[in-house]
Structure 1
């Protein structure tokens, strides 16, 4: 269940054990926090508390999009991880100005009626990020709320974080991102009408705009696609601005599905980037482009097995 706010929370959602954080990506580190919340109070409903928009989007609206997961996907991933409820707090001027102490009292205690909290060791909250895990534990204890502070998940490359996953995708390493996420990274969106050039070239594509998703490395990918009926198709995708065709003002995602036909316009699909094949390139003409697409498709089939 999704609750967008902390006021007038239904009685059935109050009194949970709550995992705290932005949770962008719902990666393996976030799963550790969810597991700690569940383990501390297995007798209680499990909830996640996050913020919408992401605070960085609120404070720096002119930054390029950076999100790994938008709210609908985040909610679905959290439900798959066992969450009974997701609290998506509207991050606005009121919340930005709220002190850490007030956040514990008004949001966590009075609003949600939380009985246990779990967060990562780097969790910071409240006005100007003035609250840390020590303050959270102190203020929670005063109200009879338990707290689990979860050590950061690390490996030989350092701390597993949303930032690290974003960097891997921007550098063209979707396999590294998948390792840290625990699944391939997925861009979900509605299939929109393009100029039908792919059909003319013999490679019809489903087209999506990236919207608020992070823009990964531009180029060609072997991909799998989650279809509206629950089936998963294999394909070859391109992320870029089509320099051979004069360039687009926005980056688009085009994916050709292997051994599949049908009408996806207006429907939501999830494109999962599995392997990066080559960077975006400019070709001398349509015939050269068509040959390159054929080679890309053959390589994608081999990579996907």
Structure 2
């Protein structure tokens, strides 16, 4: 059965009555991994008949505080806001409260956040958080203080233990980033509970792949944590347009060392595909790391390696 449409709200003030009173899970939900989903399911179980909501923040608080401190940090996000919303909708979330994180929210004490945002603004019935959740000015509030505030303000609180996932121990965005940076997408999948996906619009590139017999769909990686650069076997969902559907392929994630210095991007070749993807949105799942990027002696060597990569990817993706 298809889930009903998800409604996205970007403020806690002035909401219609139909958008208030949800049972919510609260956190950043970067990656929507197994630990996040345990919090979502705890919220669902607390009141199965109430609307299911998510409270999250945009920009990510870590991005905000880094900018305020004048720090330039490498991108760390596993998902942009659009990709996160897509994944949350698949889990039956009906109300997404994507709250604007800035000076006002950052300056609220834990008590003021619970009262102004959760009780008065969103009118929540119940909230679920992970046991390591922190909130309020200076991260002074934790799950225990939230439960105390809920008892005073009239909403319930469920505190969810941390979840283990795969060989890395507990499922965390930090551990998932490490697995991806080391070229271990299957370990990342064990913690995520789904393949790590890069989503975005297909942009016009220099069309070198087409000239080499391997046309590619080119996507930017701005603002996202970079997995290990190299070639991957991938599963691809075309999310819109006449060719909407699921495909297999091979992708190069990197800077294209054969052709000078370039910003990192993702170039995906879909097997047995003849359509036009420019302007459409793709979701590319990294399944297995094949090899690092290389600079070849010439185009003939590059083409031969691309053919070998495609053969290897087809074999991997055809396995049970």
What's the TM-score once normalised by structure 2's chain length?
A: 0.93
Q: CA deviation at 1:284?
A: 1.2
Matched residue, 1:232: 246
Matched residue, 1:131: 141
> Counterparts in 2 of 1:96-115, with a 5 A limit?
96-115=106-125
> Counterparts in 2 of 1:65-76, with a 5 A limit?
65-76=75-86
Q: CA deviation at 1:230?
A: 3.5
Q: CA deviation at 1:211?
A: 1.4
Render the CA deviation track for 1:155-207: whole Å, top value 9, x for unaligned. Answer: 55322111111111111011111121111111111111111111111111111
Matched residue, 1:207: 218
Q: Does 1:246 align with 2:257?
A: no
Pick one of 160, 182, 194 that aligns with 1:183.
194
Matched residue, 2:273: 260
Render the CA deviation track for 1:217-243: whole Å, top value 9, x for unaligned. Answer: 000000011112431111110011011
Render the CA deviation track for 1:106-140: whole Å, top value 9, x for unaligned. Answer: 00000000111100000001111110011101111
Distance of 1:120 and 1:173 partners within structure 2: 26
Q: Does 1:269 align with 2:275?
A: no
Counting matched residue pairs gives 304
Pick one of 152, 160, 185 that aligns with 1:174.
185
Q: CA deviation at 1:278?
A: 0.7
Distance of 1:264 and 1:125 partners within structure 2: 42
Distance of 1:195 and 1:76 partners within structure 2: 29
Q: Does 1:49 align with 2:55?
A: yes
Matched residue, 1:150: 160
SS of the residue corresponding to residue 24 of structure 2 reads strand
Matched residue, 2:230: 219
**Runs of at least 4 residues of structure 1 off by over 2 A?**
155-158
Distance of 1:54 and 1:301 partners within structure 2: 37
Distance of 2:261 and 2:215 partners within structure 1: 19
Render the CA deviation track for 1:27-80: whole Å, top value 9, x for unaligned. Answer: 111111111111111121110100001111111242122211211221121121
State the Cα RMSD in Å. Answer: 1.1
Q: CA deviation at 1:95?
A: 0.9
SS of the residue corresponding to residue 159 of structure 1 reads coil
* Structure 2 portions without partners, runs of 5+: 1-6
